[in-house]
């Protein structure tokens, strides 16, 4: 049984009916004597971690809203109920008309949470930490201006992977394997695997292919000192940080997982069959 006394609603107001559904959820939670707070946004969201603690978070939007909620809630150990008001919905899996059913099943202990690994990203510059962050889907290094080839050196704790000349580099989690990485020709991984995908974007050398490495191996990406064009680090497609020649980016498993309610492996494979029309159609 899960006891909920205080909940937070992440509301993406760009989504149709998001405010109406939020009002419905707040009303029902109030009937159950559960305090409901909101983080509503139509532009850049702003969450204050000092506004907690919370026992549960609702994500009202698409997968992007879940990504923001995960970066905010995972470090606090708060589970997320991801309600899908978007289109694709690989992570946001709960239909709007089923949120109460899923909420009841979870509080009664009849369904659990899917633990999704997150990445901790640290940028080291001149032997000091220049930036830090976390992500649920992926970390991308790319040119910051008009598309240009960037020069990167990639290694793990145990081996040198080599130099990459490409439009960019994606390091993705299994959850993020169905996002930017798959569009760049990367493999799809089971969402609860413990592995990373290293995937160059349009590599200059065709032999540079995506590779899957064990999670126990931290990955280090160095922007080569000879790099002349601007380079940008992006987390989950939402957080950006400019990089400089000689910067070293350390990617490793975060100390916390994202906990998603009703978004387990069965839901993931159903989404694959439905969204990607495997076997000729969603019902095959």
Burial label, 69 (beta-carbon count in 10 A; 0-12, 13-18, 19+):
buried
Torsion angle in degrees (nearest 10) through CA of 138, 140, 145, 146: -90
Structure tokens given for 239:
């957080």
Residue 69 contacts residue 96 (beta carbons within 8 Å):
no
**Which candidate in 23, 48, 55, 63 is catalytic?**
63
Closest CA to 219 of 277, 172, 257, 266: 172
63 is catalytic: yes
SS (H, E, C) 37-72: EEEEECCCCCCCHHHCCCCEEEEEECHHHHHHHHHH
Counting Cα atoms < 13 Å in the Cβ hemisphere of 185 gives: 11
Mapped onto helix, strand or coil, the DSSP state of residue 88 is coil
Cis peptide before 53 (omega within 30 of 0): yes
Query: CA–CA separation, 47 vs 207, rounded Å?
Result: 43
Contact (CB, 8 A) for 198 and 210: yes
Sheet holding 231-235, edge to edge: 211-214, 195-201, 168-172, 138-143, 231-235, 239-243
Say which DSSP state 186 is in: P
Residue 135: closest CA among 186, 170, 163 = 170
User: Concatenated DSSP letters for 124-152?
Assistant: EETTEEEEEEEESSEEEEEESSSS--EEE
Active-site positions read 63
């Amino acid at each position: 049984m899960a006891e909920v006394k205080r909940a937070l609603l992440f509301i993406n107001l760009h989504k149709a009916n998001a405010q109406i559904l939020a009002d419905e959820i707040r009303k029902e939670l109030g009937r159950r004597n559960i305090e409901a707070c909101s983080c509503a946004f139509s532009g850049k969201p702003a969450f204050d971690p000092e506004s907690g603690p919370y026992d549960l978070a609702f994500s009202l939007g698409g997968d992007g809203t879940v990504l923001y909620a995960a970066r905010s809630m995972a470090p606090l150990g708060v589970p997320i109920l991801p309600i899908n008001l978007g289109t694709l919905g690989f992570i946001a899996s709960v239909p709007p008309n089923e949120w109460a059913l899923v909420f009841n099943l979870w509080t009664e202990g009849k369904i659990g949470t899917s633990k999704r690994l997150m990445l901790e990203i640290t940028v080291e510059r001149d032997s000091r930490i220049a930036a830090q962050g976390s992500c649920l889907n992926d970390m991308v290094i790319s040119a910051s201006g008009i598309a240009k080839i960037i020069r990167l050196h990639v290694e793990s704790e145990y081996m040198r992977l080599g130099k990459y000349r490409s439009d960019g580099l994606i390091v993705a989690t299994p959850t993020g394997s169905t996002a930017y990485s798959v569009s760049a020709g990367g493999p799809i991984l089971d969402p609860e695997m413990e592995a990373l995908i290293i995937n160059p974007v349009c590599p200059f050398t065709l032999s540079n292919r995506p590779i899957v490495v064990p999670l126990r191996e931290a990955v280090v990406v160095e922007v080569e000192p000879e790099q002349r064009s601007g380079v940008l680090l992006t987390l989950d497609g939402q957080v950006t940080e400019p990089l400089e020649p000689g910067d070293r980016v350390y990617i490793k498993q975060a100390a916390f997982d994202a906990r998603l309610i009703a978004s387990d492996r069965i839901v993931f494979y159903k989404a694959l069959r439905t969204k990607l029309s495997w076997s000729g159609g969603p019902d095959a």
